[in-house]
């Protein structure tokens, strides 16, 4: 398969990039590592007139600690660079776990953290070649007007399948957005728009995600990451689970679970209530039940919806138990 023709834009500063995004709004795609965009372009899912490369923007790469426990990871930093950062590995092992489970080592060498947070939503009926989609007759997200997963659905149910988003949500990460109005920091959770797999991001087409900020973590917080999948590499998650637990000597333990791959956007749940009497099998099961309330995974050609829900429930319990 070959890429459709496009003009490559190579800005040398963020301001220039933003100006180009504004100039070509609607007909431009941003490429960093390209591991998500380029296969989709080859399949004819996107054929923008312009592709804007972030390659020349050095300020979009690098990991910096603030010395106080906080971190700033520039958006186009590769997953491999993050995995190889020893200080980060010491401080935030769950983030490294998640990065290491993206695709394969080859993918990690190119893919970027920002790209993983902005991953296109995926569906068995959408991520296919042009010939295949033509045989299908298109779908809600592309070329058609029906959702093949749920034919009655008025909205697209394609799943947001980022490995790193659940962990970064558990770490209370913020994202730094640049646009014509300047820079601003918003909570990562605000980047996502739940509901529609065709419109899952709150990011204007003329804005750039420039960095991920991870604030200093509460001393007692422990974050764990587990990924459900059929193979131990390559596969996107059937479910991705991050659990964060903050035991407190004087009050109740606080606990959250963040999920991806089971909805069009991440799902987060405060499960502290279920763990008020400590961590035992019953409490874990109650917490998991809370966490998966909003989950609506799709059946795949390999496993059913029921299986994905059950797997989600099991991994929620296990991730929580590991974090305790």
Taking CB under 8 A as the rule, which mask of x and - marks residues 222-251 in contact with another protein?
------x-xxxxxx----------------
Binding flag, residue 38, another protein (CB under 8 A)? no
Packed helices 281-291 and 305-323: angle between N→C axes, nearest 10 degrees: 130
Pairing of strands 7-9, 50-53: parallel
CA-closest candidate to residue 115, choices 70, 155, 175, 59: 175
CA–CA gap between residue 209 and residue 123 (Å, rounded): 24
Binder of another protein out of 2, 86, 145, 181 (CB under 8 A): 2
Within positions 86 to 105, which residues make up the interface with another protein, using CB under 8 A? 104
132 interacts with another protein by CB under 8 A: yes
Q: Which positions from 179 to 208 touch another protein by CB under 8 A, shown as an x/- string?
A: ------------------------------
Angle ∠(258,162,29) on CA atoms, nearest 5: 135
46 vs 307 by CB, closer to another protein: 307
Residue 1 touching another protein (CB under 8 A): yes
User: 96 φ, ψ to 5°?
Assistant: -65, -40
d(CA 198, CA 138): 14
Stretch that binds another protein, among 25-33, 77-85, 125-133, 250-258 (CB under 8 A): 125-133
With CB under 8 A as the contact rule, the residue among 12, 13, 58, 129 that binds another protein is 129
Residues that contact another protein, how many (by CB under 8 A)? 30
Among 8, 23, 106, 134, binds another protein (CB under 8 A): 134
Run of H or E including 246: strand 239-246
8 contacts another protein (rule: CB under 8 A): no
Contact 127, 40 (CB under 8 A): yes
Residue 9 CA, chain-centre distance (Å), reads 25
Among 23, 186, 190, 302, binds another protein (CB under 8 A): 302
* Two tokens, residue 303: 């496993």
Answer for which of 89, 155, 314, 321 binds another protein (CB under 8 A) is: 314
* 46 lies in the binding site for another protein (CB under 8 A): no
- Cβ neighbours, 10 Å, residue 16: 15
Residue 148: count of CB within 10 angstroms of its CB: 18
Asked if residue 303 binds another protein (CB under 8 A), the reply is: yes
Binding region for another protein (CB under 8 A):
1-2, 5, 104, 124, 127-129, 131-132, 134-136, 228, 230-235, 301-304, 306-307, 310-311, 314-315
């Amino acid at each position: 398969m070959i890429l459709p023709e496009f003009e490559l834009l190579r800005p040398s500063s963020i301001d220039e990039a933003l100006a180009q995004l504004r100039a070509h709004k609607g007909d431009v795609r941003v490429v960093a590592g390209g591991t998500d965009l380029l296969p989709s372009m080859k399949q004819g899912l996107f054929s923008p007139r312009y592709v804007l490369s972030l390659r020349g923007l050095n300020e979009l790469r690098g990991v910096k600690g603030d010395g106080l426990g906080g971190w700033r990871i520039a958006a186009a930093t590769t997953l491999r660079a993050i995995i190889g950062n020893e200080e980060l590995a010491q401080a935030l092992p769950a983030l490294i776990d998640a990065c290491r489970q993206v695709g394969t080592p080859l993918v990690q060498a190119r893919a970027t953290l920002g790209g993983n947070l902005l991953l296109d939503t995926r569906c068995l009926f959408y991520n296919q070649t042009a010939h295949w989609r033509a045989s299908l007759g298109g779908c809600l997200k592309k070329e058609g007007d029906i959702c093949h997963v749920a034919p009655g659905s008025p909205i697209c149910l394609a799943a947001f399948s980022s490995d790193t988003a659940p962990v970064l949500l558990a770490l209370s990460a913020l994202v730094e957005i640049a646009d014509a109005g300047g820079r601003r920091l918003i909570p990562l959770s605000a980047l996502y728009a739940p509901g529609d797999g065709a419109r899952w991001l709150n990011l204007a087409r003329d804005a750039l995600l420039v960095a991920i900020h991870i604030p200093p973590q509460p001393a007692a917080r422990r974050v764990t990451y587990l990924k459900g999948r059929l193979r131990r590499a390559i596969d996107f998650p059937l479910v991705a689970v991050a659990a964060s637990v903050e035991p407190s000597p004087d009050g109740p333990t606080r606990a959250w679970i963040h999920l991806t791959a089971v909805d069009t956007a991440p799902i987060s749940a405060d499960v502290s209530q279920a763990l008020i009497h400590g961590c035992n099998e019953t409490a874990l099961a109650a917490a998991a039940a809370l966490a998966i309330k909003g989950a609506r995974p799709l059946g795949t050609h390999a496993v059913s919806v029921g299986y994905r829900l059950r797997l989600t429930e099991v991994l929620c319990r296990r991730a929580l138990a590991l974090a305790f």
